Every structure is written in structure tokens, then in C-alpha cells.
Amino acid sequence: MALLEIMSNLGKAVSYQEIQNSLMNFDRITLYRTLNTFIKRGILHKIIFENHQSFYALCSIDCTTDRHQHQHVHFQCNQCKEVSCLEAKEPIQLAISNHFVDDIEITASGLCQECHK
Ligand SMILES: [Zn+2]
Ligand SMILES: [Zn+2]
Ligand SMILES: [Zn+2]
């Protein structure tokens, strides 16, 4: 599948625009449907930033058709605008009473390793 190939070759989160540009033969609706199918199957996840830009990233093996299990941070670099999925050094825990969390969505921004040099 071309879409997944592109995603794994890039090895980072890709914006909707970038996906659309690389898959010229997909019309908007087909692309939208394809992305949603992969999200439902636990293969991709969507990341939405404050500016309403959407990014898509590959899921780890922890995600299944039943549910996504994310414990990572989505980081966007203020300079190069690249988005990456970063594992936290320690498991992210939220103390919320009477609710059971299995998916945490955290977005952070700052400078990436490359831009921080
Ligand atoms: Zn997932
Ligand atoms: Zn950067
Ligand atoms: Zn992610």
C-alpha cells in the first residue's frame, strides 16, 4: 500500500498536505477514507495541533483494531515545523479519579534536536 510505504519511509509524522502531495492519484475523498480506515485498524493515528493542522503517524504494535494505546508526546518544532512521536522517559500518568485512561494525547512544542544546535 503506497500510503503506508511513504509513511514508514519517512519515519516521522506527516502532514495531510504532504500525504496529499505524495499521492497525486488519490482524490480528497479517497485519501480521507483511506486514512480513516487505517486509523480504525490501529495502524495510523492522527495528531491535531492548535492551528488545526493535521498530521498522521504510524502506530506501534501496541495499537490494535480495538483501541489505540498511546503513551507518547507529540512534539512540533517551532522552527522547522517537523512533528515527531516521542516516547516519554517515564510512563505518563494522569491522576483522574474514577476514570480509566488508556490513551493520552499530549502535544508539546519547542526546538527539536536539529534546530537546537
Ligand atoms: Zn495508535
Ligand atoms: Zn526543528
Ligand atoms: Zn504519535
pLDDT in tens, 22-51: 888 889 999 999 999 999 999 999 999 877
Which ligand has the shortest distance to the CA of 48?
A: 3
Distance of CA 33 to the CA centre of its chain: 17
How many CB atoms lie under 10 A from the CB of residue 20? 15
Residue 1 has pLDDT above 70, yes or no: no
Q: Which ligand sits nearest to residue 113's alpha carbon?
A: 2
Alpha-carbon distance of 116 to 71, in angstroms, equals 25
Number of domains in the chain: 1
Give yes or no for residue 106 having a pLDDT over 70. Answer: yes
What is the extent of the structural domain holding 84? 2-110
Residues 58-93 have pLDDT tens digits of 998 889 998 888 888 999 999 999 999 998 888 777
Neighbours of ion ligand 1 (CB under 5 A): 45, 59, 63, 68
- Is 57 within the bounds of a domain? yes
Q: 115 lies in a domain?
A: no
Q: How far is the CA of 99 from the centre of ligand 2 (A)?
A: 36
> pLDDT value at position 57?
95
Q: Is residue 117 domain-resident?
A: no
pLDDT for position 82: 93
